[in-house]
Structure 1
């Protein structure tokens, strides 16, 4: 099932989503957001607003009916959808209490952690949000109250359907200099605090200018520390290349 999902994702997932899609690099997302934030500290540019949304307990809150509906929307085979439904709905949990395992409890929502197919199913759900947001592209969006109101409605509709609410404490609003006049209204509407640059995104601190080696140093140090333990291993060049890719994917 996982291999089949890997083959089909590239066809149904938009190019702006790169996580868990074979042949794509999540680093492209970093470069894209870095480009979006370029010039945020300049007042003469048009007002801009970036919303960094963190979903609350994402895997645990997924609405199964919504997931299956999304798969139908993307024209997955009925048999495959049935297999997925069996995988997600027949899960039982037990709890450890005072060192002893107790009971088996059925679940009514969510995706299993560490299940190899769960990340791909979650990517499909996020693609449904992306499809909804694409309908706003031709609406002359900018950092004004009307645009933010429509965005808020989209996020609220997504929450109701998918069961995935935004975490207000971890989400942030990034405003350009030209948009600061709307700060209080935007903050009140979305319920997210205003963030400040630099902001960490996928392990990288993003700024309003081009990223330097120093900006990427913390991530490079993490990668180096993970790889250091394997230096003595007798790996071929291809093996070392694959190791580095695996470490980077795990960290990102």
Structure 2
């Protein structure tokens, strides 16, 4: 995206403990609103109903702790569930006609946000979008349990936006080595090169293993 001649803001929002804060009831509500099959929703309800944990303290188990929120990380379906949940926020932002976003050259489309897992970035030439987005995040948090991580949320000024506003979140002038900022710069080169060579290193560590099942496990974990 060519930002020459544009004045505005680029904000990277981070969800605080994103997977841990999602209310189980909200998961079911979103699945129903998006017309998932009832049989699939029932299985998700089974997974997230009557969950409890115990803590070992000095060798002794505590009483049961009822758990009403969190998405189990490490499960194959967990990332997909979170993607559905965060899409509810994206729908609200896209449908908010008071949030302008940025016009894509040669397209009759305004982009209002970019999402990657629990990271949500927006670019806007309209500074009033800032307050309106915060309100959308606030409303989303009330129903989902999510919360913005203020320590990881950053604002990057583009050009010379005409404002003396004291931003709530920290400002940055540094180029980020990975997304979200590199959607403006050479994103493909920087974001993928590091991951590609990291993947090659992991494969090299395991390629001498004799058992076929070990090789399959590595490929499923690091490639697929």
Coarse TM-score class (shorter-chain normalised) = 0.7 to 0.9
**CA distance in 2 between partners of 1:47 and 1:205 (Å):** 16
Change (3 A) 1:94 1:116: farther
Alignment match, 2:171: 194
Matched, 1:156 2:116: no
Alignment match, 1:28: none
TM-score by length of 2: 0.73
* Equivalenced residues, count: 200
Unaligned stretches of 5+ residues in structure 2: 102-123
The equivalences for 1:74-93 within 5 A come to: 74-93=34-53
The equivalences for 1:36-185 within 5 A come to: 38-40=1-3, 42=4, 44=5, 46-136=6-96, 140-141=100-101, 142-179=124-161, 181-182=162-163, 185=165
Q: 1:122 is paired with a residue of what secondary structure?
A: helix
Displacement of 1:201 in angstroms is 3.6
- RMSD after superposition: 3.2
Change (3 A) 1:177 1:58: same
Change (3 A) 1:146 1:208: closer
Please list the CA deviations of residues 102-158 of structure 1 after superposition, one character each: whole Å capped at 9, or x if unmatched.
332211222223333322221110111111111146854333332212111111111
Displacement of 1:83 in angstroms is 2.8
Change (3 A) 1:102 1:57: same
**CA distance in 2 between partners of 1:148 and 1:67 (Å):** 27
Match of 1:228 among 196, 204, 224: 204
Change (3 A) 1:231 1:158: same
Displacement of 1:163 in angstroms is 0.6
CA contact (8 A) 2:153 2:170 kept: yes
CA contact (8 A) 1:61 1:110 kept: yes
Unaligned stretches of 5+ residues in structure 1: 1-37
CA contact (8 A) 2:9 2:127 kept: no
Change (3 A) 1:57 1:210: closer
Change (3 A) 1:205 1:235: farther
Name the one with the larger helix percent: 1
**CA distance in 1 between partners of 2:40 and 2:53 (Å):** 24
Q: 2:130 is paired with a residue of what secondary structure?
A: helix
TM-score by length of 1: 0.66
